């Protein structure tokens, strides 16, 4: 952490600051120049509240040099984390494709899609029971009934299941769920992060918020891990920018960056990232090539009749083509 002292600060004030830093186990090194004074702080600053320092009267600005996350930090855990998702491993060279409809609509539908994606090569099944929708007038998911249908599809096909938890009060129904998804709009719902940290060891698929920085994503992972659950999978699903040609802007350079910063696996969601079915295939291939540890893809047996996200859902036929392309490119993936 670097502290820039205001011009004209009194020595007594600077001394106070130095003593305060020492009291927090920070080792301050002072550089006095003709125009400015800097204090370089070495030591464990991850637990220090940077806003507090920057509010001090003598401080012109503060810049953190170290990382504010520890549990998620590759520096302290050099080896890749490998997460067991109902028997399917993700991370450390293990690559999985999660596929299924945006929302579970009926037992027939989810079983039909599950069989189709399994036949094409998917190794986990996704499907929404509790759905976050921008409009209160849009279909909100089948809820607990939807979860039961998803579990039926798991029994029928053997595929582990991934589904979103929107509210911790729903947790009691998640016994048979293999991977719990925390959606982009809840990435900074800190209470739910703590709750899935405290109460379960199931893998958490944590989606990046629409305008979250990589550091914020890692801090949200840190909430879960610091609460007791180390099994976090990071998910890039596109960010919000000025460009309107796609629903979101997929930020693929985050895959190697997150691998540099953290030991956690990184999965890419090309369906939400683009919002356009015909772009899912090329983005899935590119995400595989750049070294993602997995993909999560929306597939619907009849997209025009889908109750949500029909525009971005692949048909089972499209998905089978995409799986072929993914398998072909996978041996040449980075890392």
Task: Tell whether residue 244 is a contact of a second copy (CB under 8 A).
Answer: yes
Contacts of 94 (CB under 8 A, 6+ apart): 82, 88, 293
Question: Which residue stretch of 108-116, 117-125, 147-155, 235-243 sits at the interface with a second copy (rule: CB under 8 A)?
Answer: 235-243
Return the number of the residue (155 or 240) whose C-beta is nearest a second copy.
240
Question: How far apart (Å, rounded) are the C-alpha atoms in residues 202 and 162?
Answer: 11
Size of the site for a second copy (CB under 8 A): 109
In this structure, what are the phi and psi dihedrals at residue 330, rounded to the nearest 5 degrees?
-55, -40
Site for a second copy in 310-329 (CB under 8 A): 310-311, 313, 325, 328-329
Question: How far apart (Å, rounded) are the C-alpha atoms in residues 61 and 5?
Answer: 7
CA angle 289, 295, 300 (to 5 degrees): 125
Question: How far apart (Å, rounded) are the C-alpha atoms in residues 189 and 170?
Answer: 15
Residue 114: C-alpha distances to residues 23, 151, 330 (Å): 58, 11, 23
Could you tell me the smallest distance in angstroms from the CB atom of residue 152 to a second copy? 25
Task: Tell whether residue 23 is a contact of a second copy (CB under 8 A).
Answer: no
Q: Which two tokens stand for residue 306?
A: 């889908």
Q: Which two tokens stand for residue 165?
A: 């938890």
Contacts of 319 (CB under 8 A, 6+ apart): 99, 116, 117, 120, 122, 297, 299
Question: Which residue stretch of 31-39, 88-96, 106-114, 146-154 sits at the interface with a second copy (rule: CB under 8 A)?
Answer: 31-39
Exactly one of 38, 82, 89, 320 binds a second copy (CB under 8 A); that residue is 38
CB atoms closer than 10 angstroms to residue 191:
11
Exactly one of 90, 147, 308, 323 binds a second copy (CB under 8 A); that residue is 308
Exactly one of 22, 65, 106, 108 binds a second copy (CB under 8 A); that residue is 65
> What is the helix (H) or strand (E) element at residue 233, kind and residue range?
strand 232-236
Task: Tell whether residue 121 is a contact of a second copy (CB under 8 A).
Answer: no
Question: Which residue stretch of 83-91, 115-123, 128-136, 148-156 sits at the interface with a second copy (rule: CB under 8 A)?
Answer: 128-136
Q: Which two tokens stand for residue 26?
A: 């920070």
Could you tell me the smallest distance in angstroms from the CB atom of residue 71 to a second copy? 9
Could you tell me the smallest distance in angstroms from the CB atom of residue 86 to a second copy? 26
Return the number of the residue (12 or 34) whose C-beta is nearest a second copy.
34
Task: Tell whether residue 36 is a contact of a second copy (CB under 8 A).
Answer: yes
Site for a second copy in 257-296 (CB under 8 A): 257, 260, 273-274, 277-279, 281-283, 285-291
Task: Tell whether residue 66 is a contact of a second copy (CB under 8 A).
Answer: yes
Task: Tell whether residue 106 is a contact of a second copy (CB under 8 A).
Answer: no
Site for a second copy in 162-191 (CB under 8 A): 166-167, 185-186, 188-191
CB atoms closer than 10 angstroms to residue 115:
17
Asked if 130 contacts 144 with a C-beta cutoff of 8 angstroms, the reply is: no
Question: Which residue stretch of 81-89, 92-100, 211-219, 229-237 sits at the interface with a second copy (rule: CB under 8 A)?
Answer: 211-219
Task: Tell whether residue 30 is a contact of a second copy (CB under 8 A).
Answer: yes
Q: Identify the residue whose tokens are 């398998």.
A: 327
- Give the count of alpha carbons within 13 A of 209, CB side only: 17
Question: Which residue stretch of 92-100, 107-115, 127-135, 146-154 sits at the interface with a second copy (rule: CB under 8 A)?
Answer: 127-135
Return the number of the residue (40 or 92) whose C-beta is nearest a second copy.
40
Tell the burial category of 254 from Cβ atoms under 10 Å away from its Cβ (0-12, 13-18, 19+).
buried
């Amino acid at each position: 952490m670097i502290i820039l002292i205001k011009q004209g600060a009194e020595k007594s004030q600077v001394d106070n600051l130095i003593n305060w830093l020492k009291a927090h186990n920070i080792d301050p090194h002072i550089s006095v120049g003709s125009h400015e004074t800097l204090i370089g702080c070495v030591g464990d600053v991850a637990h220090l509240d940077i806003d507090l320092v920057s509010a001090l009267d003598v401080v012109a600005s503060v810049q953190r040099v170290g990382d504010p996350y520890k549990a998620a930090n590759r520096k302290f855990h050099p080896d890749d984390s490998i997460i067991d998702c109902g028997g399917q491993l993700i991370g450390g060279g293990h690559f999985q494709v999660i596929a299924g409809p945006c929302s579970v609509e009926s037992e027939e539908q989810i079983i039909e899609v599950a069989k189709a994606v399994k036949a094409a090569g998917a190794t986990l099944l996704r499907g929404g029971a509790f759905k976050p929708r921008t409009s209160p007038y849009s279909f909100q998911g089948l809820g607990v009934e939807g979860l039961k249908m998803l579990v039926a599809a798991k029994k029928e096909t053997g595929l582990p299941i991934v589904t979103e938890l929107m509210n911790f009060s729903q947790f009691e129904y998640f016994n048979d769920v293999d991977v719990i998804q925390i959606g982009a709009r809840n990435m900074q719902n800190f209470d739910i992060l703590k709750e899935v940290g405290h109460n379960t060891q199931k893998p958490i698929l944590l989606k990046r918020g629409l305008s979250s920085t990589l550091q914020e994503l890692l801090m949200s992972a840190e909430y879960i891990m610091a609460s007791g659950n180390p099994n976090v999978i990071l998910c890039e699903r596109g960010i919000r920018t000025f460009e309107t040609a796609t629903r979101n802007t997929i930020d693929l350079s985050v895959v190697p960056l997150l691998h540099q910063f953290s030991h956690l696996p990184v999965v890419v969601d090309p369906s939400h990232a683009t919002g356009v079915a015909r772009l899912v295939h090329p983005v899935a291939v590119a995400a595989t090539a750049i070294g993602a540890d997995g993909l999560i893809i929306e597939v619907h047996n009849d997209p025009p009749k889908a109750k949500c996200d029909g525009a971005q859902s692949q048909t089972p036929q499209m998905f089978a083509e995409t799986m072929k392309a993914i398998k072909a490119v996978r041996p040449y993936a980075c890392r």
